Structure 1
Amino acid sequence: MEPAPYQIRDISLLFVEDEIEARDMLSRMLGMNYPGLTLYVAENGVAGLEIFRRMRPEIVMTDINMPLMNGIAMSREIKQIEPEATIVAVTAHSDTSYLLSAIEIGIDHYVLKPVNYEELFGVIDKVVDKIMLKRLVGEQLEQIRRREQQLSEAQKVAHLGSWEWDAQSGQAVCSDELYRILGLEPGTVPPSYRAFLERVHPADRDTLEKGVAQAIDGRQALSFQYFRIVRPDGSPRIVRGQLEVNFAESGEPVSMIGTCHDVTEQKGAEAALRASEQRFARIFQATPDLLSITSAADGLYIEVNRAFLKALGHQLSEVIGHTAPELGIWVDERERQVMLQALQNQGEVRDLEVRFKSRSGRQFVGLVSAEPIEIDGRECVLTLFKDISERKRLEEARARLAAIVESSDDAIMATDAEGIITSWNAGAEKVFGYSAQEMKGRHLSFLAPPERKEEISRLRQGIPDEEQVTHFDTVHITKDGTRIYVSLTISPIRSADGTMVGTSCIARDVTERTQMEEIIKHQAQHDTLTDLPNRKLFMDFLALELAQARRNRRSLAVLFMDLDHFKQINDTLGHAAGDLLLQGVAQRLKRCVRESDTVARIGGDEFNVLMPDLIQSDDVGKVVGKIMGVFEAPFLLDNVEVNAATSVGISMFPEDGDSSEELVQKADSAMYVAKQSSGSSYQFYNDEINIRTVARQKMERMLRAAVQKGELELLYQPQVRIDTGRVVGAEALLRWRHPERGVLLPAQFLAVAEETGAIIPIGEWVIFNACAQMKKWQAQGFGFAVTVNLSNREFRQPNLLELTSRALAQTGLSPHALELEVSEKGIMGNVDYSLRNMRRLTEMGVGFSVDDFGVGASSLHWIKQLPIGKLKIDRSFIRDIVTEPNDLAVVSAVICMSHNLKMKVNAVGVETQEQLALIRSHGCDEMQGELVSGPLPPLEFEKLVANM
């Protein structure tokens, strides 16, 4: 077992550092990594020098840049007091001036900040090993020297264990020293050769006896025989024995004289020295740094370690006996000369940054240290090269990262394990307004408003258990008190053993984005014109209130409102005025409902009101009464007073339904009934409405299927030239042969078709079939045109031009044989659109007539600009023309105006000769009505034309 005379507690270290955090951290790390180390701590060079004078520690670890006395000045004083003291500089300074100053005063090691603890502890390990090895070797050498001196003195004065044996008596005489070696008190055991042999170790006894016998037989002295003695207490001693035999003339031995030298300690020292040499060799070879021993005289390599050969790519045989320049391992020969010069001037070199290159040409940066040593009397140099290429790369990467962090617009922060801010970049200062000096040392939750501090603390508590990044949006407060929305990302910083030692935080100001998202969310749920909730939000509210009503067993009401005659107002005064009316209605509705009620605009001129938590049924009537009342006062639209009215339908929960969709649909049905009855009224949903709604829905389904089932047909009413009596046109009139109700007139189903959109496919069927029929009549020689009625919705369809062109092309009908009849109201709905579409169709050759002229409120300014070929006077004026002078006056005025505008006039609904005579007398061009014929099927129409 190897002796270990020294422990680390025999070594003391002085640590000098002015920064409290760095001093505390390194002190704790030293205590943890070197238990038993005597540690002295000072906050500056003056205090450190005072401690050194009193305690004389073996190792001094110091910062360079400190107040009162810097590390260079303190180290210079320490070296003067104790040149053998080992000094390790730990500093952020790495420039040449500090390096040269450190070399000049003899600082042994140089470690850069930020501290790489692995590197620092590697340096301290080397220093401790060196101190312990130096002590051990020195002690052992001193023991060897002392033993050799004692041996020399013993030889001079015969101070050895000695004995003399008489052959005749068999007795021996022993010196006191021999008794001591044997572990006996002088004279306690009768001395004899046999008694001496009993003290010899059994394993060595036979060898000793053989040696003595050989000495007697060979008549020569027994020199330096080593054997072990076992003392009475069982402890072994190693002795070196020597004897000389005296012979009689007869050749018989008469006596023997001998000495025994106890060499136990010497042998132990020799074993320790061999163990030390072996340990040094193992350390030399196992060191990961590049180690070499060269001759001081010529620079030839004497020994290198495995790391040296591996890093540089050479074989041992290629290195030993050669020099560094021969191997070409220095990138710059000048760096080697600087090292040699420093070695010569200061006696050693510590952590000089140089560059080496391998046999393959790979270059790497390292720190070289060198000091002279003596091996077997030969002056040599021990050189250590530490590869710091990776560290340099990491430092450069760290510098680049630091630059990126500082240039980022995002707030990038770091905290310790307790959430205390330790790092704060320029982006954080820009986002929050606080400087790094103001924020370092504060808790991360300092930025959170009072109601969010618990949220931050709770999220941080969960981070140690999380493997991934924590990301969430929250609110922070800037230095000027402004609340901003931030997107915060927190990730753990872990030590090598996985323990969380801090967090990194990235905060991005997303206030504008959040506000825009809120605006977009608001717009997605609200009507942009009135800022009322839209249909989706209304239905969400309704679903929530329904769930609440079920739990509390309360009632609620849904109101469905539709403005009366809104389209007429919109068409007459324009869309801008219509928008103002909708906004005005919204404002009045919000003022007349309860605070718990919800007013929503569903679309167009339709509004919904949700009235939850009803206790008395009268509550609905009171609110509806207020709603109807707000329409009593006119609305001011761009300085024009406009009277408006509304129809309201009401459904109740739970009486009328249990779902949101059902309640809204039934309120809609009730509103439809209110509007159909008189308008400007309200209607509660009831069973009768349900019956009518079901019937209306059934009609809608059957109407959509009527085209495919062939249930539609066209009848034709002749249009007659009054002055000649000839048929000059045929108006196509639609009929529906209902499978259950028989033949239905347009008035019985077109309203439903308009509302549901079924009018579009029906209208296409009408125009195609009318054109096809007219094409047949053209083949028969009929030269008149067919008139097709367009509903307002058909007239406003974007594809009207394309549809008409396609019908003419597919049927082969000339455009001049087609006349489209539109209502006065349909034209005035969008005059610009009407003018553009009508002009394109008339350019093709298609004619236009206006139906029900005089009923609407069209502007003559626009009528005269439209390409209208014929005006049709509504039958309401013709019916009483004989008895009502006013009707006759209107008819006369329309005829006169039309002729002045180069338009023809057709009187609709002529049933008597008296009516015919009056319109003829006022110059009316055409007529149609029962006086000539009602609508006829094509074959009967053909017969009528043939007979006229």
Structure 2
Amino acid sequence: MAPAQGQSLSPGFDAGATEFELAAQLYQAIFFHDGPIARDTVRALCCSALASPDGCFVLGDGLAGDAPWAALQIQSRASGTLAAGQPPLGASQPNRLGLDLVFAGRHLGFLGVAARAGGYDGEALRRFADLGALLASMLHARTSHDQRVEALASSEREIRRQSQMLDQIHDSVITMDPQGYITGWNAGAERLFGYAASEVIGRNILLLYADEDESMEGFFNAFLADGSREMKVRRRKKSGEVFWASVSLSVSHDEDGTPSGLIGYVVDISDQQCAEEKLRLHARIFECAGEAIMVADAGERIVSVNQALCDITGFAERELLGCTPALMNLGSGGARWDEIRRALDAQGYWSGELQPLRKDGAAYPAWVSVSLVRNTADAPSHYCFVFADISARKEAEEQIYRLAYFDPLTGLPNRSLLFSLLAQAITEAHRKHEHGALLFVDLNRFKHINDSFGHTPADALLAEVARRLTRSLRKEDVVSRLGGDEFVIALFDINRREDAAIVARKLLAVLAEPFFVEQHEVLLSASIGISIFPEDGRDAETLIRNADVAMYRAKQTGSSSYLYYSREMNLRSLERLKLEGSLRHALDRGEFRLHYQPQVDLASGRITGAEALLRWEMPGHGMVPPAQFIPVAEETGLIVPIGEWVVDAACRQLRAWLDAGQAPVKIAVNLSPRQFSQNLPRTVLGILRAHDIPAELLEVEITESMLMHNADSVVAMMQEFAAAGVSMSLDDFGTGYSSLSYLKRFPINTLKIDQSFVRGIPRDANDSAIATAIIGMAKALNLKVIAEGVETAEQQDFLKSAGCDEMQGYRFSKPLPADPFAALLCASNG
């Protein structure tokens, strides 16, 4: 066992010790636990091996101890290496031995032994020389070992120093072998990726890749092929987060210069990538923006424009760069630019509408925003102009305004604009204690023109009416079209109430002049209602409503006229609205009744039939006169379901009489023009079939006005009735535009002389002549004639003598409910 460090090796050797034992002891002394050489032990071993009482062992060139050892050293160096059998060195001390320890030409130390009794023989000299050679080789080995240890320690210190330096680098540094396995991982890499060095060293770099299609081989090949030392790639952190990284690579080489691995320098460039992407995006937005963008420097010189600006203005980019915005009337002088500059100085921003110039000099409306850009020193550096051509938008706004406030057909103000103007005028009139008037104009019988000529010619006629009305008024007056054939005229300033009547008469005269529609002369008339403000209303709604009421009353006179509004008119209008409301529910509530007025044969005096007349018994009001509710039913369209009820009720009553054994009698029902539609014949014939009534027991009455419109469709329907056996009578003949062509074209069985002609006979010669003519014409056409409204014996005798077939009226009987009529029928026809 080797002695502990610092312990002297007991020189328990003698000259007879074996060479192996001596070498082992010397090795132990020289390579003692990698510590310093135990020089005293070596010296003692050498002295024991030569049985010398003392000796000297020195490392390197220096000598320790007294001068004699130095002298001995010099002698030894002077005489060269000892050889076996040489005489002792030195004349004064022949018994001392000294030897330089040299190996491979390198001086490693000195060994010397003192004199001993009897001196040193040849064997001792040989042994001393071998001992020196052994020490020299061991010292060489120890020196080489120490050098390698020192080199290794120095390398380890350098590695530690480099590792410390790498850890001080904020960014990540990763080293890899040629196969991509991680060999180095600094603190920056740990911070960036979240992996500790112990988690990644020895693992492949693919651990950090984010894209599955990216291979390590491809990455390295790209690096080696392109010579690129920097690449942008996507990497994945331990948390799973993917980020953009800049990877810079360099190749490491071994001692022979062969590539031994790669050193990667990885930087997170996510923020930089986002910033670059944002810059690219901004650049694309700048170039692709639909709005024009222009940037000028602090000296108001244009430095950048986008394509939209060139498209809008017609200027090429090269024509604008270096110029001032004044080239396009966007700045650099002028009162407006001074205003813009003040806003920019105060708040850094201005926006508003300007009139820039195109390259051809044409101005156009543009909405312009100007921003002042300041540098880091807060000094103005650039002006940014953003503007859009709003010509189309302005045109669209004008179009929307026209559609919103003007009638598209006539170009006149519509209801919305009229209400707005009226509100302002009423306020102004109230403040100044002035008066104004509203004239509600409605064209009479315009629907007939629309039906006769069609919508397009009728619209052209309305446009001409608008032009005539406008030309007839002052510039300050307003003509408005509410819709259809209704116009409202506002006279904002009149001196007297009577002035409105003067204007109304003027307008009626202008409208009475002939119009021409498709080269046909057309005569129009109108009804005008007048309301005065502020007396008749203090808001537009009330004034128009009251003028409408007055117009309706004027229309009821049946001629071209005008009327002022009065409170009584409004009361009547309210009564009419109440009547309309009750009428809408009368059918559901079963408030209608049928009365039957007998039709009597003038020759025999027997009842041949009856006209079914509608009666309305309103709860709490009693019987409502037909003259009151029939026009309301016509206007509201309620006459259609009411008329269908009349036909059904008449057929139901006929069925009841027939079932009771009553002799068959023909019942006539009136049809309104509003009821005439393609479904009318099917509806009526369906009711007949439902009640099993023979078609010849039903007669439908129509008026002349019905024949004037849509004659072809009316003929078709009447022929359908005739084919089914339903007879037709023409009511109120002679009161309208009587035409013999009607009697020729339509399958009519009976003419009814209107009571307006019967009332004057026989005293009135004209009425008597008209009645006689109608009877004669009917007879010539093989038509039956019935006279309405016969009340006196004289009327009855005249009609009988003139050849009239039948009569109805109070002379014989007033209209009766079903049961009294049935009783009268039985008594009459006994």
TM-score (norm 1): 0.55
Higher relative contact order, chain-length normalized (CA < 8 Å, sep 6+): 2
Pick the aligned partner of 1:784 from 665, 670, 676: 665
Inter-partner Cα distance in structure 2 for 1:472 and 1:838 = 70
Larger mean Cα displacement after TM superposition, 857-866 or 398-407 = 398-407
Shift of 1:700: 4.6
Q: How far apart are the structure 2 equivalents of 1:374 and 1:451?
A: 78
Select the residue among 885, 889, 895 that pairs with 2:778: 895
* Cα gap change, 1:581 to 1:860, in 2 (>3 Å): farther
Q: Output the amino acid matched with 1:681.
A: S
- Counterpart position of 1:285: 167
Q: How does 1:483-502 map to 2 (within 5 A)?
A: none
Aligned to 1:774: 654
SS of corresponding position for 2:427: helix
Is 1:680–2:560 an aligned residue pair? yes
Contact (CA 8 Å) 2:643, 2:675: kept in 1 or not? no
Structure 1 unmatched runs, 5+: 1-275, 343-348
**Partner letter of residue 186 of structure 2?**
N
Give the distance between the partners of 2:313 and 2:759, measured in 1 at CA: 83
User: What SS does structure 2 have at the residue aligned with 1:783?
Assistant: coil
1:130-183 CA distances to partner (integer Å, 9 max, x unpaired)? xxxxxxxxxxxxxxxxxxxxxxxxxxxxxxxxxxxxxxxxxxxxxxxxxxxxxx
CA distance in 1, matches of 2:245, 2:223: 13
Q: Distance in 1 between matches of 2:311 and 2:425?
A: 46
Amino acid at match of 1:895: A
**Alpha-carbon distance between aligned partners in 1 of 2:587 and 2:273, rounded to the nearest angstrom:** 85
SS of the residue 1:775 aligns to: helix
CA pair 845-444 structure 1, distance change in 2 beyond 3 A: farther
The 2-side partners of 1:654 and 1:280 are apart by: 102
**Mapped pair 1:430 → 2:311:** yes
Matched-pair contact (CA < 8 Å) for 1:330–1:336: no
Q: Does 1:604 align with 2:487?
A: no
Distance 1:288 1:818, change over 3 A: farther
1:825 CA drift (Å): 0.8
Hey, what's the Cα distance between the residues in 2 that align with 1:710 and 1:338?
A: 102
CA distance in structure 1 between the aligned counterparts of 2:216 and 2:499, rounded to whole angstroms = 100
Aligned counterpart, 1:333: 220
Identity %, equivalent residues: 34
Whole-Å Cα distance in 1 between the matches of residues 313 and 825 of structure 2? 91
Measured against aligned partners, the alpha-carbon deviations of 1:686-715 in whole angstroms (never above 9, x if no partner) come to 355455445555555565565567654322
The reply on whether 1:584 has 2:464 as its aligned counterpart is yes
Change (3 A) 1:290 1:522: same
Q: What letter corresponds to residue 666 of structure 1 in structure 2?
A: N
1:99-151 Cα distance to aligned partner (Å, 9 max, x none): xxxxxxxxxxxxxxxxxxxxxxxxxxxxxxxxxxxxxxxxxxxxxxxxxxxxx
The answer as to whether partners of 1:898 and 1:905 remain within 8 angstroms in 2 is no
CA contact (8 A) 1:831 1:862 kept: no
Distance apart, 1:935 and its partner CA: 1.9
**Could you tell me which amino acid in structure 2 is paired with residue 602 of structure 1?**
L
Matches of 2:524 and 2:587 in 1, distance apart? 39
8 Å CA contact 2:348, 2:371 repeated in 1: no
Residues 96-107 of structure 1 aligned to structure 2 (within 5 Å): none
Q: Using a 3 Å threshold, how does the CA distance of structure 1 residues 323 and 650 change in structure 2: closer, same or farther?
A: closer
Deviations along 1:805-844, one digit per CA (max 9) or x if unpaired, are 7755776656654433221113324435534655666666
1:52-78 CA-partner distances (Å, limit 9, x unpaired)? xxxxxxxxxxxxxxxxxxxxxxxxxxx
Per mean C-alpha deviation after superposition, the further-off stretch among 912-921 and 594-603 is: 912-921
Instruction: State the Cα deviation string for residues 521-561 of structure 1 (Å, max 9, x = none).
Output: 42343334323223343223222322332333322211122
CA distance in 2, matches of 1:731, 1:315: 112
Q: 1:870: Cα distance to partner?
A: 3.6
Separation in 2 of the partners of 1:500 and 1:843? 96
Following superposition of structure 1 onto structure 2, how do residues 476-625 of structure 1 map, counting pairs within 5 Å?
Answer: 478-480=358-360, 511-512=391-392, 515-516=395-396, 518-567=398-447, 578-617=458-497, 619-625=499-505
> Which of 183, 186, 195 pairs up with 1:305?
186
Give the distance between the partners of 2:665 and 2:352, measured in 1 at CA: 77
- Structure 1 pair 739/671, CA: closer, same or farther in 2 (3 Å)? same
Corresponding residue for residue 670 of structure 1: 550
Q: What secondary structure does 1:549 align onto?
A: helix
Secondary structure, aligned partner of 1:657: coil
* Structure 1 counterpart of 2:519, from 639, 642, 655: 639
Cα drift, residue 732 of structure 1: 0.9
List per-residue Cα deviations over 1:856-883 (Å, max 9, x = no partner).
Answer: 2255556644454443332344455654
Q: Could you give the per-residue CA deviations for residues 642-690 of structure 1, whole angstroms, max 9, x where no partner exists?
A: 4433332222122222232222222223333434457333332335545
SS in 2 for 1:773: helix
Aligned with residue 732 of structure 1, among 612, 619, 629: 612
State the Cα deviation string for residues 354-396 of structure 1 (Å, max 9, x = none).
7698899999773637599999xxx999864546577568757
CA contact (8 A) 2:244 2:273 kept: no
Q: Which amino acid aligns with 2:649?
A: N
- The 8 Å contact of residues 535 and 602 in structure 1, kept in 2 or not, is answered as yes
Distance 1:940 1:604 in 2: 48
For residues 329 and 715 of structure 2, what CA distance do their matches in structure 1 show? 64
Please say if residues 356 and 365 of structure 1, whose CA atoms lie closer than 8 Å, have aligned partners that are also in contact: yes
Aligned equivalent of 1:942: 822
Q: 1:642 to 1:303 in 2, by over 3 A?
A: closer
| Equivalent residues of 1:871, 1:898 under 8 A apart | no
- Write out aligned runs for 1:227-238 (5 A): none
Q: How many pairs were matched up?
A: 652
CA drift of 1:907 comes to 3.6
Residues 1:319 and 1:909: Cα distance change in structure 2 (over 3 Å): closer
Structure 2 contact 426–534 (Cα < 8 Å) conserved: no
Which residue of structure 2 aligns with residue 160 of structure 1? none
The CA deviation at 1:891 is 1.0
Q: For 1:27-106, list aligned pairs within 5 A.
A: none
Q: Could you tell me how far apart the structure 2 residues matched to 1:786 and 1:766 are?
A: 11
TM-score by length of 2: 0.62
What is the CA–CA distance in structure 2 between the aligned matches of 1:802 and 1:389, rounded to whole Å? 82
Deviations 1:618-649, CA, capped at 9 Å, x for gaps: 54344334324423533333334444333322
8 Å CA contact 2:328, 2:358 repeated in 1: no
Select which of 541, 545, 550 maps to 1:661. Answer: 541
| Secondary structure, counterpart of 1:631 in structure 2 | helix
Going from structure 1 to structure 2, the CA distance change for 1:370 and 1:444 (only over 3 Å counts) comes to farther
The one-letter code sitting in structure 2 at the alignment partner of 1:291 is V
Change (3 A) 1:479 1:722: farther
**Aligned pairs for 1:86-485 within 5 A:** 284-285=166-167, 287-291=169-173, 304-308=185-189, 316=197, 331-337=218-224, 352-353=230-231, 366=246, 368=248, 384-386=265-267, 406=287, 410-411=290-291, 413=293, 415=295, 424-438=305-319, 478-480=358-360
Q: Is the 8 A contact 2:696 2:725 kept in 1?
A: yes
Q: In structure 2, what residue type is equivalent to 1:434?
A: F
CA–CA distance in 2 between the matches of 1:844 and 1:445?
Answer: 87
Aligned-pair distance for 1:942? 1.2
Given that residues 286 and 293 in structure 2 are in contact (C-alpha distance below 8 angstroms), is that contact kept between their aligned partners in structure 1? no
Change in Cα spacing, 1:769 to 1:432, as seen in structure 2 (3 Å) is farther
SS of the aligned residue for 1:769 comes to helix
Distance 1:740 1:314 in 2: 98
Helix, strand or coil for the counterpart of 1:609?
strand
Tell me the residue number matched to 1:851. 731
Matched residue, 1:648: 528
